[in-house]
Amino acid sequence: MAAAKKAVLGPLVGAVDQGTSSTRFLVFNSKTAELLSHHQVEIKQEFPREGWVEQDPKEILHSVYECIEKTCEKLGQLNIDISNIKAIGVSNQRETTVVWDKLTGEPLYNAVAAPVSPGPSDPVAVVPSGSSVPAAGAASVWLDLRTQSTVESLSKRIPGNNNFVKSKTGLPLSTYFSAVKLRWLLDNVRKVQKAVEEDRALFGTVDSWLIWSLTGGASGGVHCTDVTNASRTMLFNIHSLEWDKELCEFFEIPMKILPNVRSSSEIYGLMKISHSLKAGALEGVPISGCLGDQSAALVGQMCFQDGQAKNTYGTGCFLLCNTGRKCVFSEHGLLTTVAYKLGRDKPVYYALEGSVAIAGAVIRWLRDNLGIIKTSEEIEKLAKEVGTSYGCYFVPAFSGLYAPYWEPSARGIICGLTQFTNKCHIAFAALEAVCFQTREILDAMNRDCGIPLSHLQVDGGMTNNKILMQLQADILYIPVVKPSMPETTALGAAMAAGAAEGVGVWSLEPEDLSAVTMERFEPQINAEDSFPLQVIIKY
């Protein structure tokens, strides 16, 4: 039986999925998109001071090697030949900033991340002086106390207003993006300053650090990034697709430490053995795909057409809408970003991105703060018992309202309560709240793009809740489409790697992308009966 399975396998592609809390390596069949095996390792976050979040770059790298080696062992146990792995893609947490010594391969400081795990005393998103739009683009974007003074100082130097940065990058001046973190490191860490002075320093987001290390590190590693990760640094001109000299001068960043910017799908280099970690199962395999995590999910969801959108339901929600080859600037609080560029000679595609601060987090709040459920899965059972919120509305603005309102002083409210209201109605209202927030982001996208979405593609842990998915379809009044294969982020990185010139084992043609089946939730209400969206805000 094992031999028969082995015989029908097509070429395989691996994907590193490096996130804020864990690292995973997954291997897919390039002909069917079937996930064959994977391994996951949790990684630590360090909090040296309030509002500071750091990670150990060496721990991140070691976790990648461990996941690759363990996954290869598991494939061997399944009688799958690892020599059939033809390429590796990388998907990564965006914006997190690493600076290291190119001669020794040693990090010069911890990776500086954005605070995304709020405690009860954490402040809300920063709105820098002169900025019309606060930071966005994370499930929950919290004030980075370390770099706030840097932003305040920089904002005073902007010629005119915040459009100087936004017009070039699509991003507001914020503590969230890499340039401000890098500026802080250059101002405050002597080891970084000295390495720059001696021409030993290299900068990169997590993808750059991993690709450089995996392709040889100090012994000839490739220092590069892709356009999607570069577009989150606040140093990259999303029109010219190059590092912007004026932005680098504004942030006083030496351009010599920046990685080369490549497409999201091309061979960057070959995997090398790590003698210190005794890891080399995939030596010689090309690393040929690289995408920031949300762009990877967009590709994994096969949102290749202008107007297609995906929403990832996690602690918060990430919504990306493909705007095609045109760079659309939002008038409704969304970010403009690079979606992907799948080949050196392929065109760049752009996206609008919006974030919902509280999605899955509201379920945890009901569990941990109110105690009305014991597990997150119970929320669906409670909501199913009543099938309605019975006029109860829940605004989970625990840290303010994000797009399109951008009201950091707003706070949560549960309203419309009567003596009849019970925990089941509150549970249902919590699910509605997630859907209402998504509706508001998509309405903003529709206004910015001028093309109403025909359907919404979804992924993330909360999509297992069928009541939530049906509610979302009803509230949007468009179909909600969920892939049968939930690992869309890793799949997107694998697709980019397998499709690269010189690899060519994964076709991105529409007729070849039908291997992943979809579950579809159709609206079950009439348009005239659609939900009173604004009622939750008016309260």
> 447-475, pLDDT tens digit by residue?
888 878 889 999 988 999 999 999 999 99
Stretch 166-178: mean pLDDT: 85
Residue 138 has pLDDT above 50, yes or no: no
User: Distances from the Cα of 109 to the Cαs of 2, 58, 62, in angstroms?
Assistant: 47, 11, 16
pLDDT band at 164 (very low <50, low <70, confident <90, very high): confident
Residue 171 has pLDDT above 80, yes or no: yes
Quote the mean pLDDT of the chain. Answer: 85
- The least confident of 153-162, 296-305, 410-419 is 153-162
pLDDT band at 491 (very low <50, low <70, confident <90, very high): very high
What pLDDT, on a 0 to 100 scale, did the predictor assign at position 53?
A: 80
Residue 139 has pLDDT above 70, yes or no: no
Residue 511 has pLDDT above 80, yes or no: no
Q: Do residues 297 and 459 touch, judged by C-beta distance below 8 A?
A: yes
Q: Do residues 133 and 151 touch, judged by C-beta distance below 8 A?
A: no
Nearest CA to 97 out of 215, 193, 230 is that of 230
Count of H helices and E strands in the chain? 16, 23
Residue 156 has pLDDT above 60, yes or no: yes
Question: Parallel, antiparallel, or unpaired for β 286-292 and 85-92?
Answer: parallel
DSSP label at residue 99: E
Per-residue pLDDT reduced to its tens digit, 64-75: 999 999 999 999
Give the rounded percent of residues in the chain with a pLDDT score beyond 90: 59
More confident residue, 530 or 51: 51
DSSP label at residue 368: I
pLDDT band at 531 (very low <50, low <70, confident <90, very high): low
SS3 46: strand
Q: Which two tokens stand for residue 213?
A: 């290390």
Give the rounded percent of residues in the chain with a pLDDT score beyond 70: 85
What pLDDT, on a 0 to 100 scale, did the predictor assign at position 382?
A: 94
Stretch 171-181: mean pLDDT: 84
